[in-house]
Structure 1
Amino acid sequence: MTPPPLSRVRWTSAVVLAALGAGTVRAGRRLRAIPVLPVTPAATTAGVPRAAGWRLLTARGVEPDAATFLAACAHAEREGLRVLDLLPADLATERALGLLRLVDPARYRQDRLGEGRGAGFAVLVTEEVLARAGVAAGGPRHAPAELLALTRRLKEYAADSTGLAIAPGLSCGGPEGLSGPARATELRAQGLPPGALAAAQLGGLALLAGVAVRQGRWGAAAAGLYWLQPYLALGGPGSPLRPADLARATAARPVRSLGAALRTAAAAGRAPAGGDASAEAAQDAARAAAYREELAAGTERFLETRRPDCPWCGSGPLTVRVRVPDLLQGKPGRFTLEQCEACGHVFQNPRLTPAGLEFYYRDFYDGRGGEGAGTVFGRLGAAYRGRAEMLLPYGDPASWLDVGTGHGHFCNAARAVWPRTRFDGLDMGDGVREAERRGWVETGYQGQFPEFASKLAGQYEVVSMYHYLEHTRDPLAELDAAAAVLAPGGYLTIELPDPESRMARLLGPAWLPWFQPQHQHLVPAANLREALADRGFTVLAEEHGPAHQGNDFFGAVALTATRLAPDPDRPWGPPATPGARALAGAVRLAALPAFAGAAVLDTLRTVAARRTDGGNAYRMLARKDVR
C-alpha cells in the first residue's frame, strides 16, 4: 500500500496538535478564572457574616469544616450568588479536566440558559432557592451523581446567580475510583450521553494511536501532548488545584483513558441500578400499558372530518402539500397538509381533535421527552436574543406577555436584553407553572389564550408569539386575543415557519418545520400582514434571514432515521425485540456521517439565509394603532 503523502501526514498531525494545544491552554485559563476561597482559620471567623439562610449539601465522605462553610457563605453573599458549587482542592485529575471542558467560568454566571455544572462534592444553596426547587434542606448525604443532577436543577432556579469556587480546605474524602456504571450514571446526571461520549473518546484514542505510529515526530508530538496534558493544565506553580492523583493520572493517562472509555461504553447500554431505576421502570411499564389501552380503540377517532375549504380565507380549491406519519415520536397515524390555491395557506386537513392533540403532544415536551425538549430549548439563546432585540429601536416596555411560553426559556433569556421589563407567560402545559417557580416569568397563566383575552384586556405593552400560532387550532382567534390584551400603541411580535421556503419543496416530507402532527397551520407572510392590518396593526419590521433556524438538513436526517428505525423502547410501540434494537443501532450508526454532512450543509445554508434574507422562518413586529 502506498503511504499517504508527507504533506497530508503533517497536516493531520498539525490539526490534532493544535486542537490539543488549544484545549490545554483553555483548560488552564478556565481553571485560573475560578475564584479561590480564602483560607480562614476557624478561630478567626468572628468577622465572617452569619450563615443564616444557607445550606451546604455534601457528598458522602466529604466533611467541610466551619471555616470553609463560613468563607463560602461570605463569598456567595459578596458576589450576589444563591448557588455556589465548591470544588475540593484535591479534585481528581480527569474529573477536573472534564468540568473545565464543560464550563467557562468567565461566562457561566451570565449564561442564563446554561446548564448547572459542578464537581459533585459540595453545593452551597440558599434556603429560598431550595424551597422553590422543592428540595429538602436536610436529609442524608448524597452520591456525587445526585449532587451533579441537583446542581443542574438548582441553576434553573438561580439562572444568573450560580457560581463556582475552589475551597482549599475541602477534600474529596478519598481516592477517585469510578467504575463504568458509576461514570455512566454521573454523565447521565449531567444530561450527557455516556455511549456517545465513550465512542468519541475511543475514536480520539484510536486517532492518536494512528498518528503516533504512522506520522513520525509530528504524531509523537501530538501523542506526547495528550499524555502530558493533565500536568500542563492543572500542575505547575500557582495552580489553585492540587489533584492527589495528578502524577499517576499523567503517567498512565492513555491506559487509564482507554480503560475508562471501555468501561463506560460497556455500562452505557445497561439500565442504571438502584431505587430510581426501579421507579423509572415502573413508570415506563405503566406508561406502556396506558398507551396500549388507548391505541386499542384506533387513531382514526383523533381526526375530525376533512373540510373542503380554506380556514384562513374560506375559499378553495385545495391541493395536498405533504402526507406523512408521525416522524417526531413514531406514534401511529398519518397526517395530511393541504394548501389553499387562492391564498397559499397550508393547514392540517383533516385536523386533530383536542383529544388527538393531547395524545400526540404527550411525552414530547413533558414526561418521557421533557428533559430532551428542555435541553433543545436551552440551546436557543442566540435565537431568543435576536427575538428580544427586534424591539430595541421601538420602545422600552414595562410589561411583556409571552404566549406559548412553554417553560419560559425566552423570558429567561430576554431579561438580559430587557432587565427592567416584567415578563409573564401563558401556555396550556404545566411548564408555565414551573417557569413561575423558577422565576423565569413573574406570573404564569395556564390555559387557552382566547380564554384570557377579556381578563387581561389592555394590560400589556408587548405580546409575543414565537413558534406558537402554527400549533393553534384557530390562529385568527389568537390574533384577536392579542389585539384585546395589548394596550393602544403596544407591540405584537410573531415568529413562524415559512411555508414558502425553498427548502420545504426541496426536502418534501422530511422538512422539519412541517412538524407533523403538531403544526396545524403554516401561514405565508403576506397572509399574516393582511390579518394584522384587519385588526388595527401597522407592521413595523419583518425579518426572514435572521429568523432562520439552521436545522433543515440535520432535521431531515433525524426524521428519516426515525422513519426507518423508530425508538424500540417507545411505550406506544410494540415490545422491543433484539432485532428492533439491532436495527435502531445500525441506523443510528449509519446516520452519523449523514449528520456530520448535514451539519456542514446547515452552516452554509444559514450563511446564505442571512445574506439573502430568505430562511425557513420569519419574524414580524407590529404596533397596535391608537384610535
Structure 2
Amino acid sequence: MPSLARLAAGFIPLTPYAYQGRADACCICGGRETLPLSAHDRRLKRLTTVICAGCGLIRTDPMPTEAELADYYRHHYRADYQLVGRSPPRRHLARTRAEAARRVALMGLPAGAHVLDYGSGSGEFLEAGARAGWRMEGVEPGEAYSTHARGQGAVVHPRLPPEAGPFDAITAHHVFEHLRDPLAVLRELVAALKPEGVVYLSVPDMGPNRRPAFDRLHFAHVHGFVPETLDLLAAQAGLVPDPRFPRERTTSVYARGEAVVAPDPGLAARIRAGFNMTTPLRHVASFGWLAPTLRRLSRDVRDSFRP
C-alpha cells in the first residue's frame, strides 16, 4: 500500500512527480525531435508531455524507467490515479461490467475460443468471456485487483508466461497508454496469437477535444494515441485493421497482415493544434473546472448505486 505521505504528495500542485526518468527516443519511429504539449497534468503537478515530431505519438518526457513504472503500478496506481483501495469500488465494477459486455458483443467469438485479456484488472471481462463459453486467461501485474479476479475464479498471470497461447483473440482495453514500450509488448502478444487470431486494442482518444491539454494528462498515462499512431503501432507489429469489425477511432480490432504505414511528419502539428492550450491558471480562475467536476461526481454517485 502507498504511504499516506506519498499519496498526499501526489496531490500537491506545482510540484513534480517523484521520479527521475530517462530521455528516450520515440518507441515507434525512433525519433527524438518533439513538439511541446504541456508542462503540467490534470492535478496541476509538473509533468512534461511532448509530441513526437516524426510520427505524432504523445509521450511523457523524460519517460519513467522500467523500475519506476513497475513500482508505481504495483504499489501506488490504484490509490493515486483512481482513488481506490485494495478492492474495486462499486462504481468501478459497474463501469467495467458494462464495458466487458460491449467487448464480448463486439468480438463475437465462438464457444471454446481461447482468449487472453492483457491488463485484466479486476476480471470483469474474464468473467463475461467465460459466460460466453470462451477459455479465458488474464495478465494483470497489480496485486490487489488480480487477487480480486482470482477470488472470482479467474486465471490471472502477473506477466505473460513464455509458453502462453496460442490464442484465438487477445484484448487490451485502456492498457497501452500505460506501457513504457507498447511496441515491444504488442510484438510479444502477436507472437502468442494464432495465425488467424485477432487483437483488440482500445486506448483513450487524444484527438481534438475542448478540455485543456493539461487536464487530459496524468503520470499514469505515459503515451497518448490518435487513430493514426495506433495504426502505426499495429503495423510495426505486423497487424492491420480487420474490416470484419466496426471501428471507433482508437478502439480497433486487428489481424495479421502487412501494411505500408509510414509516419506522417505533419501529424504532430495537427495533433497539437487540436488541443486546448489554455493555461492552468486561466482555467482555474475561470472556474472552467467546476462543471466537469460536478459531472464526474454525479457519475460516481450514480454508478456507486447501480445494481
The two structures share one fold, judged by TM-score above 0.5:
yes
The reply on whether 1:509 has 2:214 as its aligned counterpart is yes
Letter matched to residue 495 of structure 1: S
Instruction: Write the distance in 1 (CA, Å) between the matches of 2:4 and 2:23.
Output: 31
For 2:127, the equivalent position in structure 1 comes to: 412
For 2:139, the equivalent position in structure 1 comes to: 426
Closer, same or farther: CA 428–326 of 1 in aligned 2, 3 Å: farther
For 1:203, the equivalent position in structure 2 comes to: none
Letter matched to residue 544 of structure 1: E
Structure with the bigger percentage of helix: 1
Letter matched to residue 323 of structure 1: A
Instruction: Write the distance in 2 (CA, Å) between the matches of 1:374 and 1:532.
Output: 33
Instruction: Write the distance in 1 (CA, Å) between the matches of 2:238 and 2:87.
Output: 40
Closer, same or farther: CA 599–319 of 1 in aligned 2, 3 Å: farther
**How many residues align structurally?**
257
Instruction: Write the distance in 1 (CA, Å) between the matches of 2:8 and 2:203.
Output: 35
1:535-574 matches, cutoff 5 A? 535-540=237-242, 541-544=245-248
Cα offset for 1:432? 1.6
The reply on whether 1:334 has 2:41 as its aligned counterpart is no
Give 5+ residue unaligned stretches, structure 2: 10-14, 252-279, 300-307
Letter matched to residue 170 of structure 2: V
8 Å contact from structure 1 (residues 360, 517) kept in 2? no
Letter matched to residue 496 of structure 1: V
* Pair member with larger Rg: 1
For 1:348, the equivalent position in structure 2 comes to: 60
8 Å contact from structure 2 (residues 205, 225) kept in 1? yes
The reply on whether 1:595 has 2:294 as its aligned counterpart is yes
Name the SS for the 1:497 alignment partner: coil
Taking only aligned residues, the RMSD between alpha carbons, in angstroms, comes to 3.9
For 1:315, the equivalent position in structure 2 comes to: 31
Structure with the bigger percentage of strand: 2
Letter matched to residue 247 of structure 2: E
Cα offset for 1:318? 0.4
8 Å contact from structure 1 (residues 364, 373) kept in 2? no
Instruction: Write the distance in 2 (CA, Å) between the matches of 1:488 and 1:361.
Output: 33
After TM superposition, the structure 1 stretch with the greater mean CA deviation from structure 2, 363-372 or 424-433, is: 363-372
Letter matched to residue 498 of structure 1: D
* 1:339-387 CA-partner distances (Å, limit 9, x unpaired): 0122111011111234533247744426972268533321223322222
8 Å contact from structure 1 (residues 470, 519) kept in 2? yes
* 1:37-65 CA-partner distances (Å, limit 9, x unpaired): xxxxxxxxxxxxxxxxxxxxxxxxxxxxx
Cα offset for 1:434? 2.7
1:110-509 matches, cutoff 5 A? 287-288=3-4, 302-307=19-24, 309-325=25-41, 327=43, 334-357=46-69, 358-359=71-72, 362-365=75-78, 369-370=84-85, 373-380=88-95, 381-392=97-108, 395-416=110-131, 418=132, 420-430=133-143, 431-439=145-153, 441=154, 443-447=155-159, 449=160, 452=161, 454-456=162-164, 458-500=165-207, 502-503=208-209, 506-509=211-214
Instruction: Write the distance in 1 (CA, Å) between the matches of 2:177 and 2:206.
Output: 11
Q: TM-score, normalised by structure 2?
A: 0.69
Instruction: Write the distance in 2 (CA, Å) between the matches of 1:373 and 1:597.
Output: 18
Q: TM-score, normalised by structure 1?
A: 0.36
8 Å contact from structure 1 (residues 402, 465) kept in 2? yes
Higher relative contact order (CA 8 A, sep 6+): 2
Cα offset for 1:438? 1.4
Letter matched to residue 411 of structure 1: L
8 Å contact from structure 1 (residues 377, 409) kept in 2? no
1:73-112 matches, cutoff 5 A? none
* 1:584-610 CA-partner distances (Å, limit 9, x unpaired): xxx9xx95796259979xxxxxxxxxx
Closer, same or farther: CA 359–460 of 1 in aligned 2, 3 Å: closer
Closer, same or farther: CA 376–593 of 1 in aligned 2, 3 Å: closer
Name the SS for the 1:304 alignment partner: coil
For 2:228, the equivalent position in structure 1 comes to: 526
For 1:30, the equivalent position in structure 2 comes to: none
